[in-house]
Chain A
Amino acid sequence: MSLSDLPIETAVHPRPTGARPRLRLSDRALAPAIEHAALTPEVVRAPQVVFESRDVSVNYGEKRAVEHISMDIHRNKTTALIGPSGCGKSTFLRCLNRMNDSIPGFRLGGELLYHGHNLYAPQANRVEVRRRIGMVFQKPNPFPKSIHDNIAWAARNLGMRDNVDERVERALRAAALWDEVKDRLKSSALGLSGGQQQRLCIARAIAIEPDVLLLDEPASALDPIATASIEDLIHELKVTYTIVIVTHNMQQAMRVADRTAFFSLDETRIGTLIEYSDTDKLFSRPADTRTHAYITGQFG
Chain B
Amino acid sequence: MSAIPQLSAGSGPDPAYALVASGNLRRRQAKSRAFEVVTLAAAGIAVLMLLILVYYAASRGLSQLSFSFLFGTLPLLNGSVGPLPGGIGPALAGTVELSLIGTIVALPVGVLTAIYVSEFSGPRGRRVVETYLNLMAGLPTIIAGVFIALLIANNLGQSAIAGGLALAIVEVPLIARASLESISRVPGTLREAADALGVARWRTVLGVILPTASNSIVTATILAVARAAGETAPLLFTCTLFSQNYAFNPLHSVASVPLELFSLMESGDPQAVDKAWGAAFLLMVTILIVNILARVWLRRSERKRGL
Contacts and interface: CB of A to CB of B under 8 A. Distances in A.
Pair from one complex? yes
Interface of A: 1-3, 6, 10-11, 13-14, 21-26, 28-30, 32, 36, 39-40, 42-43, 46, 48-49, 52, 72, 113-117, 119, 121, 123-125, 127-129, 131-132, 157-159, 211
B4 A39 contact: yes
A34 to B, nearest CB: 12
B4 A115 contact: no
A127 B4 contact: no
Contact of A121 (B4, B15, B19, B28): B19
A128 B20 CA distance: 7
A32 B17 contact: yes
Contacts of B20: 22-23, 123-125, 128
Contact of B11 (A39, A42, A116, A159): A116
Contact of B9 (A72, A123, A157): A72
B29 interface: yes
A165 B202 CA distance: 65
Nearest 5 CB-CB pairs, A to B?
A: A116-B13, A115-B17, A3-B10, A124-B19, A25-B22
Interface in B226-262: none
Interface string B1-21: 000110111111111111111
A159 B24 contact: yes
Nearest to A12: B13
B19 A1 contact: no
Contacts of B4: 39-40, 42-43
B16 A28 contact: yes
Contacts of B19: 114, 117, 119, 121, 123-125, 128-129, 132
Contacts of B28: 127, 157
Given A23-B20, A26-B23, A3 B9 contact: yes
A158 B24 contact: yes
Interface of B: 4-5, 7-25, 28-29
**Interface-central residue, A22, A23, A113, by most chain B CB under 10 Å:** A23
B70 to A, nearest CB: 47
B17 to A, nearest CB: 4
A292 B17 CA distance: 38
Nearest to B19: A124
B165 to A, nearest CB: 47
Contacts of A72: 9
B10 A6 contact: yes
B111 to A, nearest CB: 38
Contacts of B14: 115-117
Contact of A128 (B8, B9, B22): B22
B30 to A, nearest CB: 12
Contacts of A114: 17, 19
Given A48-B5, A159-B24, A11 B17 contact: no
A48 B22 CA distance: 23
A125 B9 contact: no
Contacts of A6: 10, 12
14 contacts: A6-B12, A13-B13, A25-B16, A29-B22, A29-B23, A36-B5, A116-B10, A116-B12, A117-B13, A117-B17, A117-B18, A131-B22, A132-B19, A159-B24
A30 B23 contact: yes
A29 B16 contact: yes
B17 A125 contact: no
Contacts of A39: 4-5
B299 to A, nearest CB: 19
A25 B14 CA distance: 13
Contacts of A14: 13
Given A1-B11, A117-B14, 4 more contacts: A24-B22, A29-B16, A43-B7, A129-B19
**Interface-central residue, B5, B7, B8, B15, by most chain A CB under 10 Å:** B7
Contacts of B21: 125, 127-128
Contacts of B5: 36, 39, 43, 48
A11 B10 contact: yes
Contacts of B18: 23, 25, 117
B9 A211 contact: no
A46 B8 contact: yes
Nearest to B23: A159
B208 to A, nearest CB: 36
